[in-house]
Amino acid sequence: MQYFEDLEPGTVQRFGAYHVTREEVVEFAGRFDPQPFHLSDEAAATTHFGRLSASGWHTCAMVMSMVVENLKAHDQAGLGSPGVDELRWHKPVYPGDTLRCETQLLDKRRSASRPDMGSFRSTMQVFNQDDQLVMSFTSIGLIRVRGGAAS
């Protein structure tokens, strides 16, 4: 199990391989972001996207699935997240793309009010198969301190 004490600022992790399918792009958009350029090849062709593209929120969801798989692989004593800062969509994500993540731990601090937990900040960069940056953000994570009681 990985706890607060095990986190080292500066550590870089590279992980994930999420293949984006047309069916998933259209399904997600139909439910959560039904803008024409996420639903129709014809509509997307008339925009700066040029072709059907994934919703930025769908990209966030795909990244979250890779993050959770990575957390499970490292057996982290995570306690969720109070949010992200500086979310940016740099390039469109298209069906056929394969996404991957790179994260760097910026800093960590123990909670003054909750001694059983700490927080940490990380940068997240998401790249496509051509190593083009498609999305970035700074995340804030919560994690148990070794020997701390579960919340």
- Write down the pLDDT at residue 20: 98
State in words which class domain 4-144 has.
alpha beta
End-to-end CA distance of the chain: 16
Tell me: the pLDDT tens digits for 50-89? Answer: 999 999 999 999 999 999 999 889 888 999 999 999 999 9
Q: How far is CA 8 from the centre of its chain?
A: 20
H-helix or E-strand containing 23?
Answer: helix 22-32
Mean pLDDT of the region 93-120: 97
* Contact residues for 114 (Cβ-Cβ < 8 A; gap 6+): none
pLDDT at 149: 61
* pLDDT score for 151: 45
Question: In DSSP terms, which residues pair with 101 in a beta bridge?
Answer: 15, 126
For the chain, domain boundaries: 4-144
Mean confidence (pLDDT) of the chain: 95
Instruction: Let me know: does 110 contact 145? Beta carbons within 8 Å.
Output: yes
Contact between 4 and 145 under an 8 Å Cβ cutoff? The reply is: yes
